[in-house]
Homo-oligomer: A and B are copies of this chain.
């Protein structure tokens, strides 16, 4: 919601709450979408929240509940009677219920589960067992099932009269009685067909699907590549056990890219919103990489100790050193990011490794030449018109940039070859690696040119 509108609505809600004017509150809230109501409620204190949440009609209450932060969900569940919990839980889709249960403390989760009927409890317990981040963990079980022998008329009649809840009706799933997936059919195709046609004749008999253990990132790739609205999820016996809908695929995509971004900045990923993670959790997410990178940085100290005679003899080298290491680092992280983005968008695959390297080599030669020339010129003019120093800067900048870019292009492919996530291992390490190489190149060149060390 736009900031100002949000604040205005919040003020109005507070006002009405103070007046105790619940009928008007209810009427106002009915005009809002669940996600917006949740955002408004999040800002209320515990007592007001429990009070106003009871104003919502059952269905809407469940919808709003899904959008609350974990903390608020827990708070409400603790404040609520068993009866009230049953009502809220009854209105939740199974995938949402599972997501909520996963984040609750064990005792609260147990209490919630005890308020569902035994059949649902069994189902939910099975869903809870799928590994986090797998297709099974994000699927839901409320889908529209049709049979191959149905006519279009019968199918449409079923669609129009079905009483059980279905999360996405636009893609229907055709299965045998023991849930073997035979095909999928879109409501668009059903509508366009004649009443007398058979589902079997117009369904897509060879649909895309994933198995429960598939990675969720792969799932969202399929949605994007094939413009799907829903995707069937099969178990290892090819039985249909659930579906994933496009809105979940969107959420996964957002989550996965933010994880990539975290990894690239050497932060452990988390799905908990920033303001809900504690200071200590934030420390835990970051200190491992900071420590590791700092300790790998001790290698720098050894390299520099080795070259101490060189920079003691020529202290101006020290002044120009950070420019070189940071330019090398920037050049490398550019290439690293371009490569990893292209990989994640599937623009390049493993077979393109040499094409990428060849391109980066040429890019780095051109970039390196101009940067080295500019900086060489700067040093010549600013530091006593010393040709040898300028040449030293030119040569070491050029070599560093070429090496940085080529290495940053090669490492992501190497990481993939040994089944590691490049965003997770290459990106955080690349600048540290380049730092060390740049120092060798720099002082090595200087030692040779000035016959030092």
User: Which residues on A are within 8 Å of B, measured CB to CB?
Assistant: 3, 31, 33, 35, 156, 159-160, 169-170, 187-188, 191-192, 206, 223-227, 229, 246-247, 249-251, 253-254, 257-258, 260-262, 264-267, 273-275, 279-280, 282-283, 286-287, 289-291, 293-295, 297-298, 300-302, 304-305, 308, 311-312, 315-316, 318-323, 325-327, 329-331, 333-334, 336-342, 344-345, 347-352, 355-356, 359, 362-363, 366-367, 370-371, 374-375, 378, 382, 428, 431-432, 435, 439
Q: Is the CB of A265 within 8 A of B297?
A: no
Q: Is the CB of A341 within 8 A of B291?
A: no
Q: Is the CB of B254 within 8 A of A291?
A: no
The complex places the Cα of A68 from the Cα of B282 at a distance, in Å, of 44
Q: Is the CB of A366 within 8 A of B264?
A: no
The complex places the Cα of A229 from the Cα of B230 at a distance, in Å, of 12
Choice from B206, B261, B371 contacting A337 with Cβ under 8 Å: B261
| Cβ–Cβ < 8 Å partners of A439 in chain B | 322
The complex places the Cα of A265 from the Cα of B308 at a distance, in Å, of 33
Q: Which of A223, A227, A267 has the most CB of B within 10 A?
A: A227
Which residue of chain B has the shortest Cβ distance to A366 in the bound complex?
A: B283
Min distance, Cβ A1 to any Cβ of chain B, angstroms: 9
Choice from B35, B261, B294 contacting A260 with Cβ under 8 Å: B261
Choice from B229, B301, B321, B334 contacting A265 with Cβ under 8 Å: B334
Q: Is the CB of A282 within 8 A of B247?
A: no
Which residue of chain B has the shortest Cβ distance to A432 in the bound complex?
A: B326
Known: A261-B261, A267-B338. 5 other contacts (CB 8 A): A160-B192, A224-B247, A274-B338, A287-B367, A293-B330
Which residue of chain B has the shortest Cβ distance to A350 in the bound complex?
A: B3
Q: Is the CB of A191 within 8 A of B160?
A: yes
Q: Is the CB of B315 within 8 A of A308?
A: yes
Identical copies in the complex: 2
The complex places the Cα of A305 from the Cα of B318 at a distance, in Å, of 8
> Given A187-B170, A363-B279, do A337 and B3 touch, yes or no (CB 8 Å)?
no
Q: Is the CB of A297 within 8 A of B311?
A: no
The complex places the Cα of A327 from the Cα of B266 at a distance, in Å, of 11
| Cβ–Cβ < 8 Å partners of A262 in chain B | 337-338, 341
Q: Is the CB of B323 within 8 A of A294?
A: yes
Choice from B187, B229, B273, B286 contacting A334 with Cβ under 8 Å: B286
Min distance, Cβ A365 to any Cβ of chain B, angstroms: 9
Choice from B300, B308, B356 contacting A323 with Cβ under 8 Å: B300
| Cβ–Cβ < 8 Å partners of A356 in chain B | 274-275
Q: Is the CB of A287 within 8 A of B35?
A: no
Q: Is the CB of A279 within 8 A of B362?
A: yes
> Given A227-B247, A283-B367, A304-B319, do A294 and B341 touch, yes or no (CB 8 Å)?
no
| Cβ–Cβ < 8 Å partners of A311 in chain B | 315, 318
Q: Which of A188, A322, A347 has the most CB of B within 10 A?
A: A322
Which residue of chain B has the shortest Cβ distance to A192 in the bound complex?
A: B160
Q: Is the CB of B250 within 8 A of A327?
A: no
Which residue of chain B has the shortest Cβ distance to A188 in the bound complex?
A: B169
Which residue of chain B has the shortest Cβ distance to A287 in the bound complex?
A: B367
| Cβ–Cβ < 8 Å partners of A318 in chain B | 304, 308, 311, 318
